[in-house]
Structure 1
């Protein structure tokens, strides 16, 4: 299959080699051309519009603003090849997803929302979990691409917004898990039990999941080199709270997490892994210098 790929950040750069390995022809566009040129086996496109001349287009951009700038301001959909399927794999708001669905329908182009669960290291192994929603026939057509990128595709129906709200809710849950581990280790350390000893117990028993293990290890070792930048975690919590507000839903714990993420950014942790949120939680508990 001929694929246009828009957005070669750390996640996109990890995904593209698996598509090539599976035998697909990949043509990429990125605002930073050097990032696109650094990938082996791809053709670099002159514009996002050119990506829509292929059988399918995968978009992996950072946020709603980037999506609007690259896709809508450029009017890339206006000249898209008929029969092209656009796969939006970025984490975007349900509101923008609904808007894009309508615009694609007007342009006669199939639109599939397929955000992913996983970090770049997971993407590089082809082990992402892909959350797909949209036209069933279009999803079936691009399923070979999902098979190359992920270990499983979770089908959530024909409304693309279902995939997007699932992704932002899931990311919100990860921030809540990090917050809870920060608070729990504050409690155990106040009694003299090391965070590493406590987290070894809970991440191998009642919370034996990849996220708890990965981010619990960061907290235990006090090491927060980026896997997923904290500023992106803050963006996703804001997406969740905005989506909730649109439906008159209240998310009290997410509000606390947003406050702590904002404190983390203010204290220079924005470029660290989002598990650095736990540093703020622990500081507020009085266990580290610089209590918030």
Structure 2
């Protein structure tokens, strides 16, 4: 399959080699062309519109503003080839999902929402979990791409918002897990039981899951280098609040996490991995500072 790929940050750059390995022909557009040229085996494109001349396009951009600029304001949809399927892998707001779905309908282009769960290391091993929603026939056409980059595709119906709300809610849960570990280790350390002693117990027993193990490891080591930057984590938690506001749903625990994220960013920690929330729990507990 001929595949256009828009956005090769750390996630995109980890996904593209697996598409190539599966035999797909990949052309890439990226704001920073050097990052695109660094990927062996791809064709580097001059404009995002050129990506839409392929059988399918995968978009992996940072946020709503980037998607709006690159996909909507660039006019890329207007020149898309007939039969092109656009796969939106970015984590974006539900309001933008609706807008994109409408624009794609008007342009006659199939739109599939397919955000992914997993970090770049998992992407490099083709171990992503993909949550997909959209036209069933369109999903079937791009399923070989999902098979190349992920370990499982979770199909969630025809409304693209279902995939995006699943991703937003899942990322919110990771933020809550990090806060839980931060507060728990603040408690244990106040009694002399270190995070390095405590967290391996719970992350290999009652909370034996990849997210707890990954971020618990960072917390136990007191090392918070990205990773997934705290500023991006705040973006995702803010998406959860925007989605909740539309349905008048309350998120009281997430509200606490958001305040702690904002406080951490105010203290200059926005570029750290979002597990740095544990640092804030230590500070609130009067346990000092373990981050350079």
**What TM-score range do you get, normalising by the shorter chain?**
over 0.9
Distance in 2 separating the partners of 1:213 and 1:274: 14
What is the Cα deviation at residue 273 of structure 1?
0.9
> For residues 20-63 of structure 1, what are the alpha-carbon distances to aligned partners after superposition, in whole Å with 9 as ceiling and x for unaligned?
01000000001111111111000011100111000000000000
Three-state SS of the structure 1 residue aligned to 2:4 is: strand
C-alpha distance in structure 2 between counterparts of 1:47 and 1:281, whole Å: 45
Q: Deviations over 1:134-192 (max 9, x none)?
A: 00110011000000000000011110000000001000000000000000011111112
> Is residue 165 from structure 1 mapped to residue 165 from structure 2 by the alignment?
yes
Equivalent in the alignment of 2:70:
70
CA drift at 1:229: 1.1
Q: Which residue does the alignment assign to 1:12?
A: 12
2-structure distance, mates of 1:241, 1:288: 31
CA distance in 2, matches of 1:200, 1:125: 24
Q: Which residue does 2:50 correspond to in 1?
A: 50
TM-score of the aligned structures, taking structure 1 as reference length: 0.98
Hey, which bits of structure 1, 4+ residues long, moved more than 3 A?
none
Residue 262 (structure 2) aligns with: 262
**Cα distance in 2 for residues equivalent to 1:98 and 1:282:** 41
What is the distance in 1 between the residues matched to 2:186 and 2:177? 14
Distance (whole Å) between structure 2 residues aligned to residue 232 and residue 128 of structure 1 = 19
What is the Cα deviation at residue 127 of structure 1?
Answer: 0.4
> What secondary structure sits across from 1:169 in the alignment?
helix
Cα RMSD of the aligned pairs, angstroms, is 1.0
8 Å contact from structure 2 (residues 282, 289) kept in 1:
no
Q: Residue 204 of structure 2: SS of its match in structure 1?
A: coil
1:54-107: CA deviation from partner (whole Å, max 9, x where unpaired): 000000000000000001111111111110000000000111111111110111
Match of 1:110 in 2: 110
Q: Which residues of 2 match residues 108-187 of structure 1 at below 5 A? A: 108-187=108-187
The residue correspondences of 1:190-269 to structure 2 (distance < 5 A) are 190-269=190-269
In the alignment, the residues of structure 2 paired with residue 210 and residue 120 of structure 1 have an alpha-carbon distance, to the nearest angstrom, of 13
Runs of 5+ unmatched residues, structure 1 = none
Does the residue aligned with 1:138 lie in a helix, a strand or coil? helix
Separation of aligned partners in 2, 1:196 and 1:226: 20
Aligned length: 290
Q: Is the 8 A contact 2:279 2:289 kept in 1?
A: no
Name the TM-score, length of structure 2 as normaliser.
0.98
Pairwise CA distance, 1:289: 4.2
Question: Does the 8 Å CA contact 2:49/2:77 hold for their aligned counterparts?
Answer: yes
What CA distance in whole angstroms lies between the structure 1 residues aligned with 2:53 and 2:25?
13
Structure 1 pair 272/289, CA: closer, same or farther in 2 (3 Å)? closer
Structure 2 residue matching 1:212: 3-state secondary structure: helix
1: distance between equivalents of 2:7 and 2:165?
A: 21
